[in-house]
Amino acid sequence: MTRKYILGLDIGIGSVGYGLIDFDTKGIIDAGVRLFPEANSDNNLGRRAKRGARRLKRRRIHRLDRVKSLLSEYKIISDRVPVNNQPYDIRVKGLTERLTKDELAVALLHIAKRRGIHNVDVVMDKDEGDKESLSTKDQINKNAKFLETRYVCELQKERLEKDGLVRGVENRFLTKDIVREAKKIIETQMQYYPEIDDTFKEKYIDLVETRRAYYEGPGQGSLYGWDADVKKWYQLMMGHCTYFPEEYRSVKYAYTADLYNALNDLNNLRISRDENDRLEYHEKYHIVENVFKQKRTPTLKQIAKEIGVEEVDISGYRITKSGKPQFTSFKLYHDLKMVISDQKILENIDLLDQIAEILTIYQDKDSIINELGQLEYLLSEHDKSVISDLTGYTGTHNLSLKCMQMIIEELWHSSMNHMEVFTALNIQPKKYELKGYKRIPTAMIEDAILSPVVKRSFKQAIGVVNAVIKKYGLPKDIIIELARKSNSAEQRRYLNEIQKKNEKMRKRIEEIIKEYGNENAKYLIQKIRLHDAQEGKCLYSLKDIPLNDLLRNPDHYEIDHIIPRSISFDNSMHNKVLVRSEQNAKKSNQTPYQYLTSSNSDIEYSVFKQHILNLGKNKDRMSKKKREYLLEERDITKYDIQKEFINRNLVDTRYATRELTSLLKAYFHINDLDVKVKTINGSFTDFLRKRWRFRKERDEGYKHHAQDALIIANADYLFKEHKLLKEIKDVSDINMHQNSSEIKNDKQYQEVFGNYFKMDDIKNYPITKFSHRVDKKPNRQLINDTIYSTRNIDDKIYVVETLKNIYDRQNDKVKKIFNKYPENILMYQNDLETFKKIHVIMEQYANEKNPLAKYYEETGEFVTKYAKDDNGPVVKKIKYYMKALGEHLDVTHNYSGAKNQVVQLSKKSFRFDIYKSEQGYKMVSLSYLSLNNDKDRYFVNRDEYAQLKKGKQIAETDQFIGSFYTNDIIQLNGEKYRVIGVNNDRRNRIELDRVDIRQTDYVKLHNLKKGDRIFMTIGRNTTDIEKIYTDILGNIYKSKRPKAPQLVFKKG
């Protein structure tokens, strides 16, 4: 008989912890961790960026060749293309004066080389998120004001003379501004050269303006094209409906999609009032007609006014990242309303949907007008023209129009949200045929609207589930906890915020101890935090809580759970307030509303409510969730309300989690397999860890992921063993069952969650199974992009490095290099006078972190190179040499006229191969540069590989041990390690890491002073090397050693 068990899954950004608990005995069966790199574009970014750069360069060269051909046709240039290093001066001169033909050629070629931005709406920049720098759109708008009285070249020349540079974030102009200058220059020169006519001007301007639109795709004959059919191109990307896979998804801004989203928003609202707490049909109708259709950006205040309630009476709405209420904006409706003459268009929903699709699919004015002309509804020429000018239409909805139209009527006339309607109408996702599959397929994950990070995590999780089922049979239950942060960057921001808050609190405690001389503050952190947030008042009486009294008599004040934990299952700061002890005793297990509307309270509820609303205006003092808890006016003893709290605080209802659970549930249901799939909120498992005194030690390695999974699996027993969680449908009858184990109050809550004997089992269980996802992908970035020049010093080649941001106050390298290694600075060798100028500044501001920054701060001027008239160019960077040239790729041949060797450093390691000879172990290293590719494969040239072996003195008779890729497990001299890659091929040195913990964490854990990285040399002292194979669960297994290394890899 198959053993019954519960499977817990802790799904993170780069890990899946799994834990199996025996269903009957609660004993631990197995646990381990699957680890994998976070899915992000960084691994492929360099390769894609280089490809994009090559494409831009190729098109620029082609454009300049056509300009040269035009100039040659009009006898402006001959075979020789003129060169001039003052193009901005020439362009400015050409606006009003005669240019020589050579100068005209220089000006027109320079303009054609960088022709500005033609579509601001689609430009994305790396610095867009930097609050200190302007976005592309803002910078263009700023430049537009300057260009009201001048041309682009005039503004560029001014900046060149003032700052010593032109190109950079400020050098952003629209193509039309560049074209305006070009027209002016050509028109001026037409006065002096009769051969330059209007035809020449039109041809040149066409060359500058014309672009291949991204939706046109590759040129004719390309394998990757779509035959110039734009709709076909868009449909390749838009995907299919979740519920009707034969239907394409709707475009994002279709009127039907907006109405569907708006009704779903409205049905999620809860109204605090005596009658129905949901919106009626007539209320939704009036909100849509009088708010959504009248206001481009609907607000909570407008909705509240329309239905005659206060803003605070409404909950359940979506919020923005800044915490503001968010509702659907009918973009298309409002855009059309502003420009069309035929207002009947706004009443035709099918027509609106068709217009939205045309605006989304087609991007140029002529195509849009043409497609609008094909519609059955006859639009006027004026309306077609103004509609074609509308912008900002991108993206798709998750559902098709057919699907949304099917349930919109139900959304109008019921209070159910869209998921509840699908359930009520028994409409099931039909993405993939799951019947008969022996393993849970992952293809469905690809179609979900999820980030690459989440998709990879889900695929790895499904792989773990499949492997567990294969080994142990079907589980009774699968319990899932999904990471609350969607990527490592978000996780870092979150941890930084926590660190900032903790640091702020630490300083606050120090201030209190210094001011009051009371060490109690160290032990009252949570009470002091609540005291400050509440402006020093007891919220249930609004009486002052003197800080000095809190420190001297902390027992006089208690932390109360706003909504009793026995109902809310929320132990976070959102559900805590600091109150006087007598107030807490009188409130007991009631809500603030229930207590303050009773005869026991000291203040009126209306006074309390106004105070909370005032506090809630500052989100740093009070979160939205806490405000809603404090103003909860419903009867929390009712079944529906308790169910809502459980769903909110115990069950993870996020979209991403629903996607995974929907797939698992559908698979088990369709195949008649009795497996229950549940989710648990991360905040609840965090609470369990704290209650069970189970510290989450991230620095102790990866094992905590498996321990978390075991806690998650154990948490399932809480659902099973306590009536409120097991059979919530019977909540209304709970008090009738005297012998049931329901949780009635906080005392019982403590008994249930306060101590759990299985924690010792989890703490003591040896976690030894770790599986790392091996990276064998052959088409990664070949080498680091940075280009370095070199210098030969005393017959030794050194790499020349560049120090940038030399006027940054935090840049301490400037001072360090000038003080310690002045002779290594190229300026010292080649421009001693300029070096002396900077040296004087270094001595003048010797006490500053960066003397150059202080010099700029005081003078407002940059340092300039030495010149007799003191008008030399600005010194923006400093070049110096420090380290000798090691492993590199010589790219000198790409730079004609280079006096010194030009190189790229850090060849990317693909793998290394180990051989055993009579003399010991030897290594062949393969970088990504070693790989070639053709139509359907990547390969290592056999002759080249043979030469690599020969260079390492590896004979044909030597035994091949194995190929080691990143994250492979290698057993070296009896110890297991995880492979990072080759550190130095010439010295046969590889970099490794520990299997169960990062070396950096290991060093920190054991208080070691050095050794953040592990380097091993394959050589005489190597006694044994073996490749260790693991499955996805971390089980070690034996595999037959290959006779020879793999040199051919299939694509795809």
Active site members: 10, 561
Residue 478, C-beta contacts closer than 8 angstroms, at least 6 positions apart = 6, 7, 9, 465, 664, 675, 676, 677, 678
> Do residues 968 and 979 touch, judged by C-beta distance below 8 A?
yes
- CA distances from residue 201 to 162, 209, 215, 826, 1011 in whole angstroms, order as listed: 33, 12, 28, 47, 67
- CA distances from residue 331 to 152, 352, 725 in whole angstroms, order as listed: 35, 11, 43
β-bridge partners, 20: 7, 30
Query: CA-to-CA distance for 27 and 1039, rounded, in angstroms?
Result: 32
Look up residue 467 and give its amino acid: A
Query: CA-to-CA distance for 1028 and 969, rounded, in angstroms?
Result: 5
Of residues 494, 489, 483, the one with CA closest to residue 657: 483
Sequential DSSP letters for 809-866: TT--HHHHHHHH-GGGBHHHHH-HHHHHHHHHHHHHTTTSSSHHHHHHHHHS---B--
Angle between helical axes of 452-472 and 655-670 (0-180°, round to 10): 30
Maximum separation of any 2 CA atoms in the chain, in Å: 106
Query: CA-to-CA distance for 560 and 576, rounded, in angstroms?
Result: 6
Query: CA-to-CA distance for 270 and 640, rounded, in angstroms?
Result: 13
Query: CA-to-CA distance for 287 and 264, rounded, in angstroms?
Result: 13
Plot region of 866 (φ>0 → left; ψ -120 to 50 → alpha; else → beta): beta
Residue 564 burial (10 A CB sphere; 0-12, 13-18, 19+): buried
β-bridge partners, 7: 20, 478
Query: CA-to-CA distance for 20 and 32, rounded, in angstroms?
Result: 9
β-bridge partners, 9: 18, 480
Query: CA-to-CA distance for 887 and 797, rounded, in angstroms?
Result: 12
Query: CA-to-CA distance for 343 and 620, rounded, in angstroms?
Result: 46
Q: Kindly state the DSSP code that residue 735 receives in the 8-state scheme.
A: G
**3-class SS at 21?**
strand
Torsion of CA 868, 869, 873, 877, to 10 degrees: 50
Query: CA-to-CA distance for 280 and 143, rounded, in angstroms?
Result: 52
Of residues 214, 516, 200, the one with CA closest to residue 361: 214
Please report, in angstroms and rounded to a whole number, the separation of the first and last CA atoms in the chain: 42
Would you mind telling me the total number of residues written for the chain in this entry?
1052
H helix runs in 74-197, sequence order: 87-96, 101-113, 136-146, 152-163, 175-190
> Do residues 390 and 365 touch, judged by C-beta distance below 8 A?
no
Of residues 203, 151, 198, the one with CA closest to residue 176: 151
H helix runs in 30-135, sequence order: 42-73, 87-96, 101-113
**3-class SS at 1048?**
strand
> Do residues 94 and 103 touch, judged by C-beta distance below 8 A?
yes
